[in-house]
Amino acid sequence: MPNKQVGIFLNSMNGFWTISAGILILLLIGRSIISKYAGKTYLSQALILETIFLISIVLLALTWWFPVRGEVSAAVVPRLWIAGIFICLIYLIAKILGKTEAPDIVAGDIALPIKFMVITLAYIVLMILIGYFIASIIFIAAAMTLLSYKRRLTIVAICAGWTAFSYLVFYRLLYVSLPEGILIKALFG
């Protein structure tokens, strides 16, 4: 399949289901490997790291089909973020393998990751509906609350700081086109 056709396939519903099935199969294979090397006391953490790794690989692969306009490709910023994710993953995996990381509170409990997946999907839907900035504020506040963070003023400060940072760096400095939101466009068009 030529390079462009692969990108078109991956951007289709069939491509989505193929990627999802591949990630699920690799997670199941990884679960048995993780149980053997990291032990059941680190299973949840290791599965989360494996999931982040697999999704990052998919996102990295998708950047090869980003448009190139001017000197800097639209793929530069996502690739930098993904490189940062890989560095963090390597560090966390080393801590798990070295048994210096705190073990799971309840081995194999995946309720929190599932809740995070749900709010992440909600974030994606909200981003399409109400735009990146408002959806990001809601997502960050929800994620911090889900992690049992109690200081409301700090949550508000982090939400405001991230919004300001995103606006200044990505929108103004790098001219990244961030989703405006269907509803926001319709109301304020």
CA distance 34 to 42: 8
Between the alpha carbon of residue 116 and those of residues 31, 61, 75, 95, 123, the distances in Å are: 19, 23, 26, 23, 10
Residue 106: predicted pLDDT: 61
Residue 33: predicted pLDDT: 83
Residue 2: predicted pLDDT: 57
* pTM, two decimal places: 0.57
pLDDT in tens, the chain (189 residues): 456 777 778 778 888 888 888 888 988 888 888 777 777 777 888 888 999 999 999 889 888 877 777 777 888 888 999 999 999 999 998 888 888 888 777 645 678 888 989 999 999 999 999 999 999 999 999 999 998 888 999 999 999 999 999 999 888 888 888 888 888 888 876
